[in-house]
């Protein structure tokens, strides 16, 4: 069970959430948690001695040591490199871009649960949705998935909801890769071949969302059970992961290559009409064969000819 590892990091928990589309409005009965970088930082500092936390430039990485920018060497039984992405030019990618702001709404915003996906907003530059987390009666975190001029869109979204805000507070920005295809071997080699890796540096993520946390927790659990796990097993695990996630990359191919940009929301609109358990397994990257068949059966949300062309183009 990985839940105990995550529990200390959770700052807020809701028992359900909403998704909104032009032809579908649904409340999902599933627990939704929020984790912040501040809470993660505080917890790591709580469980690790202060001398174990080193803030310094890393000049070189070896399987059993690192060399810092000042020449100091830090030795260990195993080095795990989780410093972010490798050479992304070796992969075929789409992108999910976002900016989020925590805003104060005097008098209350009226939300009782998160809106995880509001795709009733104007579809700009491909698929766009807004995400809302109500932390208390007057505080809501609003996130828009496109970066250009996006701060203004957050305020406009709040105004459209009738929320008179006192300006923005905490802000988050980010760009997540959506993996369509690529050369796993070249990606792995781009950051060294004899080094154990984790997170997006290993390529271990849910290809459609770009999220790495579930796979990172599973890897940490595996490593705790087998502390002597050598670097080549990390590579073998990442390779199996890449192969097993081919289905998600196929879906990403259809999303970016087959769907008309301002109609991409239809794919998610249909998806969120499926069973709650299927949706949970999808986001965890643990879809069953039946799940995969169910996602692809029925009336296709993208033109069939465009889908065939997109898949053929990926395989050429």
134-148, 164-178, 181-195, 226-240: segment of lowest average pLDDT: 164-178
- What pLDDT is recorded for position 168? 60
pTM: predicted TM-score of the whole model, two decimal places = 0.83
Q: Where residue 148 falls among pLDDT bands split at 50, 70, 90?
A: very low
- What pLDDT is recorded for position 313? 55
Does residue 140 surpass a pLDDT of 50? yes
Does residue 114 surpass a pLDDT of 50? yes
- What pLDDT is recorded for position 54? 87
Percent of the chain with pLDDT over 90: 62
Q: Where residue 257 falls among pLDDT bands split at 50, 70, 90?
A: confident
Per residue in 193-204, pLDDT (tens digit) is 899 999 999 999
Contact 53, 46 (CB under 8 A): no
- What pLDDT is recorded for position 149? 43
Nearest-5° angle of CA 141, CA 143, CA 145? 170
């Amino acid at each position: 069970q990985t839940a105990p590892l995550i529990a200390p990091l959770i700052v807020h928990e809701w028992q359900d959430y909403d998704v909104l589309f032009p032809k579908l409005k649904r409340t999902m009965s599933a627990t939704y948690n929020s984790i912040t970088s501040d809470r993660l930082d505080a917890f790591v500092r709580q469980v690790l001695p202060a001398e174990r936390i080193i803030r310094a430039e890393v000049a070189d990485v070896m399987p059993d040591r690192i060399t810092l920018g000042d020449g100091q060497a830090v030795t260990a039984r195993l080095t795990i490199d989780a410093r972010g992405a490798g050479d992304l030019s070796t992969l075929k990618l789409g992108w999910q871009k976002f900016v989020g702001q925590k805003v104060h709404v005097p008098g209350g915003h009226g939300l009782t649960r998160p809106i995880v996906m509001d795709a009733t907003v104007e579809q700009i530059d491909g698929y766009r949705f807004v995400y809302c987390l109500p932390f208390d009666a007057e505080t809501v975190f609003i996130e828009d998935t496109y970066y250009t001029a996006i701060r203004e869109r957050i305020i406009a979204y709040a105004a459209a909801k009738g929320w008179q805000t006192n300006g923005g507070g905490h802000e988050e920005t980010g760009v997540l890769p959506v993996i369509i295809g690529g050369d796993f071997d070249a990606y792995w080699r781009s950051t060294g071949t004899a080094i154990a890796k984790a997170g997006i540096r290993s390529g271990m993520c849910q290809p459609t969302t770009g999220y790495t946390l579930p796979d990172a927790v599973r890897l940490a659990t595996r490593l705790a059970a087998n502390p002597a796990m050598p670097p080549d097993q990390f590579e073998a695990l990442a390779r199996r992961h890449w192969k097993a996630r081919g289905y998600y990359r196929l879906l990403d191919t259809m999303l970016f290559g087959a769907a008309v940009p301002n109609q991409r929301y239809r794919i998610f609109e249909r998806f969120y009409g499926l069973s709650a358990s299927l949706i949970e397994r999808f986001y965890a990257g643990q879809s069953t064969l039946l799940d995969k068949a169910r996602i692809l059966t029925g009336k296709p949300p993208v033109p069939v000819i465009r889908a065939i062309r997109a898949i053929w183009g990926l395989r050429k």
